[in-house]
């Protein structure tokens, strides 16, 4: 077994939030990260230490659990097309800045094949490095450089969330992703072969964010080319693994 797979599996488990109680655990971690730790959102706007919004009902959620402590250490959701109103906008579409000419391919994708990556968060307990404490996603230049020097990837919790996004997408037939990301995160993801296409200007959306899109299979192919160990990690328990082309 690849070292990354073995090490990650020793410390963490990826848990689909398929029950109301697990979704609540996800929302509590989101409140901790986005309202308390990074102050991305105003905590006065949220009751009972829960961060929730209108998109949760049409999303699938995943949490990461630390096996030793049972602590929920990370979470991410994938916003899906509204089954009652497929034309209902995704969060990034409400910004009003998407360039039609830059996203023509997306207009040809059925709405039910779209998903938006959202609320990607890692607990502060697992963002201990000085340059990680004020970010939500837990991916930094320092961490990637350290991993490059050793010739392998440590059991980085953020990779577990990336894996979760792929698995949620495959389970729900999502072939294309929307996202609104920090520019620094986009650049770091490109180091992993995860390339998004920018489809609008930078916007002030709880901080500077870049609207972008990506094709799921193309992203997986980029990971296979640039980071084969990460590809193995993502596809390790998929039967059969998704073809890369």
* 148 has a pLDDT exceeding 90: no
Q: How confident is the model at residue 78 (pLDDT cuts 50, 70, 90)?
A: very high
Mean pLDDT lowest for which of 29-43, 65-79, 118-132?
A: 118-132
Domains of the chain, by residue range, sit at 3-235
Confidence (pLDDT) at 116: 97
Q: What percent of the residues of the chain are helix, what percent strand, and what percent coil, each to the nearest 5?
A: 45, 20, 35
Burial of 173 (0-12, 13-18, 19+ CB in 10 A): exposed
* pLDDT, mean of residues 97-118: 78
Two structure tokens written together for 186: 């986009």
* 175 has a pLDDT exceeding 60: yes
Q: Is the dihedral of CA 208, 161, 92, 210 positive or negative?
A: positive
Cβ distance 141 to 80 under 8 Å? Answer: no
* 105 has a pLDDT exceeding 80: no
Cβ distance 115 to 169 under 8 Å? Answer: yes
Interval 22-61: pLDDT, tens: 999 999 999 999 999 988 999 999 989 999 999 999 999 9
Average pLDDT, the chain: 84
Q: How confident is the model at residue 102 (pLDDT cuts 50, 70, 90)?
A: low
* 130 has a pLDDT exceeding 80: no
Query: For residue 103, is the peptide bond before it cis, meaning its omega torsion is within 30 degrees of 0?
Result: no
pTM for the model: 0.85
Confidence (pLDDT) at 170: 96
What percent of the chain lies above the pLDDT cut of 70? 80
Confidence (pLDDT) at 135: 45
49: left (phi over 0), alpha (psi -120 to 50) or beta: left
Confidence (pLDDT) at 219: 94
How crowded is the C-beta side of 70, counted as CA atoms within 13 Å?
Answer: 1
Cβ distance 237 to 167 under 8 Å? Answer: no
Interval 153-169: pLDDT, tens: 444 788 899 999 999 99
Q: Helix or strand or coil: residue 123? A: coil
Identify which has the larger pLDDT, 122 or 241: 122
Homologous superfamily, domain 3-235: Gcn5-related N-acetyltransferase (GNAT) (3.40.630.30)
Two structure tokens written together for 193: 């072969």
């Amino acid at each position: 077994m690849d070292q990354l797979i073995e090490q990650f599996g020793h410390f963490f488990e990826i848990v689909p939030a398929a029950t109301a109680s697990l979704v609540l655990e996800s929302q509590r971690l989101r409140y901790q990260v986005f309202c308390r730790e990074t102050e991305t959102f105003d905590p006065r706007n949220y009751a009972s230490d829960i961060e929730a919004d209108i998109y949760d009902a049409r999303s699938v959620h995943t949490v990461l659990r630390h096996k030793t402590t049972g602590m929920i250490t990370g979470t991410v959701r994938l916003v899906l097309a509204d089954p009652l109103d497929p034309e209902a906008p995704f969060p990034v579409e409400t910004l009003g800045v998407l360039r039609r000419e830059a996203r023509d391919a997306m207009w040809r994708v059925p709405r039910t094949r779209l998903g938006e990556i959202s609320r990607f968060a890692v607990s502060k307990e697992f963002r201990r490095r000085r340059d990680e404490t004020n970010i939500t996603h837990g991916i930094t230049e320092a961490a990637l450089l350290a991993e490059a020097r050793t010739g392998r990837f440590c059991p980085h919790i953020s990779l577990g969330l990336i894996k979760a996004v792929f698995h949620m997408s495959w389970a729900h037939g999502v072939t294309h992703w929307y996202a609104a990301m920090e520019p620094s995160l986009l650049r770091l993801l490109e180091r992993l072969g995860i390339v998004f296409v920018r489809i609008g200007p930078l916007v002030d959306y709880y901080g500077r964010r870049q609207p972008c899109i990506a094709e799921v299979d193309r992203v997986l192919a980029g990971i296979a080319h640039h980071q084969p160990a990460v590809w193995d990690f993502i596809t390790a328990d998929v039967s059969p693994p998704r073809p890369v082309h």
